[in-house]
Structure 1
């Protein structure tokens, strides 16, 4: 082992870990934990990763970066297993990783798709979230900067580019003239007509601009898979979260998208057991799964984060939080199972992964043909579903 970078949490971390890996090449044995702090459990997982990696690599330099290491910098610095802590805001600075002032050689190709970070940070103040403390205010890459990165990835042969960020739909707000995300997506598609697939990571529905909506619903190279940052299906909970959309707005957006492009698969983040959530509010949260046809669900049991307003609100009993999270997962699984059955017998273009599976444009998982080259696009026509995998 010379270099090992372990990513926890979001796709943005994955993208940043690619750059860190490249900068570490040629240096001494180094292990990096790119940590996450989105929940208390994520911080615990980051600590466990540090301890495990130290046991597995007793002689390597072990460095922690990421949101958890910034929000709880002192706690990570005091861990006996840790040699250094790099603040999140500095994690892509060459000086922390290279021997001397050597510029990074670019992103490495370790995945079948390329995660391209177009934005970082967040200007919003959701009452449950500590990520702005770890990432800072929203900062956008310019269109030329993004195009250079996409061009590099296409030169490596990737067939799918995923645009990532902390709050991707806020892209451009800090740039001159305040362009919207639709302008960036349009620029990428125009500059690279041979790019087969462009996918968008988690979107805030209220920030989807008209051009972006048009591209999502009419451009075949934009993947029919939209992951929405819903967080709850209850209006009172959304208000207490300081989210900027209502239940009705979320449902209307999904209905509009599906009316224009029915094959779009909807994903969503949903929090179970937010403070003050009553059984009736939980029922509203459960019902949003069917109302928005959520087939890709990320369910988060609420856990209080010190320093956030929600941590000071009346808390739901932990047993109730766990039970509600389980009910949400069951609801999403039922919605997903019904959707997967509609895909049987229908050919789909699938991006092959290294483990013999792959994802179609709508992000359903398929078993790929024997011998399929990782990173290639293959056509699959499933006849059965085995443990959520189309075969």
Structure 2
């Protein structure tokens, strides 16, 4: 949009055009979409409202009937926003929005992207879409087939990001371990990408956002362990610690493989941070199987959990699985795992006290203190010093404070760069 002369303004600054990008991983995304359209109308009743993203691909008709929405763009159309909507004329009151939404099979192009709003850390997309038909998930329906950028293009983007002074890049995608598919053919691998990015000067840290356990190979783990720039932090979705439930979910591994991946990481990088995604209340999950998941996670040397409460998504095979777990049990199970996550994070932070690390400080200043993350994802707090923002500095981790943040000492003075 900026290349066409538009200027980005904050949501509350009365924009002429509201572009609302939607998720649809959980049922909540749909409710959020309606709420934000209402907010936009309060801020500028004459503002043009376009909805795009996953929810727009899955439920275009439903969105087109939300009062105040002018246009709905599906997965293949959202990157052609300006071309499709060149006039941005509001739809007359009482009429449904214009819908531009082709079948998901037509979303085959790869569009490179990276975030620019934070000068410390950038999210660099390397892959899109997913070929895994997990029972609970709408992403293949919303994002289409797995497709990727090339190693050369990603390296070029990383160099551009380095020139902007950004120190850390988080590699993202829908299923990044599947990187390397171009026109349905495997041309390169995620390991090829990791090796190439490790040579990019100017970027101090690369972080892998989330990678399926069956795609996290020994060679990737071994490479990260001795890498110059890849940090010892992995986020590996598990979803369930019960093999029967993993089967119902149509996941591509068993819990034994997951144990093997965690052990491999910890063997080569004892201080690595390992985050885990887990779903509670999936259809067919019994109390016994939930407890199996709980005990499985409790015994693993992991660092934190992202807990998702199962929510019914249209056109997914999970809807055919019985029995359905009642809402109150889903909430109860979620609460138990959130408490376990807090325990795990605390134990991980406690295990880091007394160690030296490097911290990349961010412009996140509160009560005269600033925060940042160590390479292995421990959130650190220190006295605010403007010279230290966007600098990686050696620190000594001393104690975990009442807020659960790591206190540090021995901040080295910033050396002048000549």
- Please give the TM-score of this superposition, normalised by the length of structure 2: 0.82
Q: Deviations over 1:12-35 (max 9, x none)?
A: xxxxxxxx6777734873222211
In the alignment, is residue 47 of structure 1 matched against residue 34 of structure 2?
yes
Aligned counterpart, 1:367: 381
User: How far apart, CA to CA, are the structure 2 residues paired with 1:50 and 1:283?
Assistant: 41
User: How far apart, CA to CA, are the structure 1 residues paired with 2:313 and 2:284?
Assistant: 16
Aligned counterpart, 1:207: 215
Moved more, 158-167 or 107-116: 107-116
Aligned residue runs from structure 1 range 37-186, under 5 A: 37-93=24-80, 95-96=82-83, 109-111=116-118, 112-174=120-182, 178-186=187-195
User: How far apart, CA to CA, are the structure 2 residues paired with 1:21 and 1:327?
Assistant: 46
Cα displacement (A) at 1:108: 6.1
Q: How many residues align?
A: 368
User: How far apart, CA to CA, are the structure 1 residues paired with 2:302 and 2:162?
Assistant: 31
Aligned counterpart, 1:246: 254
Moved over 4 A (4+): 20-24, 96-100
Aligned counterpart, 1:5: none
Cα displacement (A) at 1:136: 0.3
Do 1:267 and 1:295's aligned partners in 2 also have CA atoms closer than 8 Å?
yes
Tell me: CA distance 1:384–1:257, structure 2 relative to 1, closer, same or farther (3 Å). Answer: closer
SS of residue paired to 2:236 = strand
User: How far apart, CA to CA, are the structure 1 residues paired with 2:168 and 2:75?
Assistant: 27
Tell me: CA distance 1:21–1:343, structure 2 relative to 1, closer, same or farther (3 Å). Answer: farther
- From 219, 227, 232, the counterpart of 1:224: 232
Unaligned runs of 5+ in 1: 1-19
User: How far apart, CA to CA, are the structure 1 residues paired with 2:28 and 2:2?
Assistant: 26
In the alignment, is residue 344 of structure 1 matched against residue 346 of structure 2?
no
User: How far apart, CA to CA, are the structure 2 residues paired with 1:81 and 1:74?
Assistant: 14
Does 1 or 2 have the higher relative contact order (CA < 8 Å, sep 6+)? Answer: 1
Tell me: CA distance 1:389–1:97, structure 2 relative to 1, closer, same or farther (3 Å). Answer: farther
Moved more, 194-203 or 28-37: 28-37
Do 2:302 and 2:344's aligned partners in 1 also have CA atoms closer than 8 Å?
yes
In the alignment, is residue 334 of structure 1 matched against residue 343 of structure 2?
yes
User: How far apart, CA to CA, are the structure 2 residues paired with 1:48 and 1:294?
Assistant: 36
Do 1:183 and 1:212's aligned partners in 2 also have CA atoms closer than 8 Å?
no
Question: When you count helix as a share of all residues, which structure comes out higher?
Answer: 1
Aligned counterpart, 1:9: none
SS of residue paired to 1:226 = strand
Cα displacement (A) at 1:89: 2.6
- From 274, 277, 296, the counterpart of 1:269: 277
User: How far apart, CA to CA, are the structure 1 residues paired with 2:167 and 2:43?
Assistant: 34
In the alignment, is residue 383 of structure 1 matched against residue 399 of structure 2?
yes
Do 1:182 and 1:210's aligned partners in 2 also have CA atoms closer than 8 Å?
no
User: How far apart, CA to CA, are the structure 2 residues paired with 1:89 and 1:368?
Assistant: 45
Moved more, 289-298 or 75-84: 289-298
User: How far apart, CA to CA, are the structure 2 residues paired with 1:263 and 1:37?
Assistant: 35
Cα displacement (A) at 1:304: 0.9
Moved more, 319-328 or 215-224: 215-224
Do 1:35 and 1:46's aligned partners in 2 also have CA atoms closer than 8 Å?
yes
Cα displacement (A) at 1:370: 0.6
User: How far apart, CA to CA, are the structure 2 residues paired with 1:116 and 1:335?
Assistant: 29
Do 1:63 and 1:82's aligned partners in 2 also have CA atoms closer than 8 Å?
yes
Q: Deviations over 1:259-292 (max 9, x none)?
A: 0111111101100011111111001111232233
Do 2:114 and 2:123's aligned partners in 1 also have CA atoms closer than 8 Å?
no
Tell me: CA distance 1:49–1:96, structure 2 relative to 1, closer, same or farther (3 Å). Answer: farther
User: How far apart, CA to CA, are the structure 2 residues paired with 1:317 and 1:350?
Assistant: 44
Do 1:268 and 1:298's aligned partners in 2 also have CA atoms closer than 8 Å?
yes
Aligned counterpart, 1:4: none
Cα displacement (A) at 1:145: 1.5
Cα displacement (A) at 1:92: 2.5
SS of residue paired to 1:353 = strand
Tell me: CA distance 1:41–1:74, structure 2 relative to 1, closer, same or farther (3 Å). Answer: same
Cα displacement (A) at 1:296: 2.4
User: How far apart, CA to CA, are the structure 1 residues paired with 2:5 and 2:23?
Assistant: 21
Aligned counterpart, 1:194: 202
Do 1:23 and 1:97's aligned partners in 2 also have CA atoms closer than 8 Å?
no
Do 1:21 and 1:108's aligned partners in 2 also have CA atoms closer than 8 Å?
no
Tell me: CA distance 1:97–1:109, structure 2 relative to 1, closer, same or farther (3 Å). Answer: farther
SS of residue paired to 1:323 = helix
Unaligned runs of 5+ in 2: 9-14, 88-110, 365-369, 408-418
Moved more, 179-188 or 363-372: 363-372
- From 352, 358, 382, the counterpart of 2:372: 358
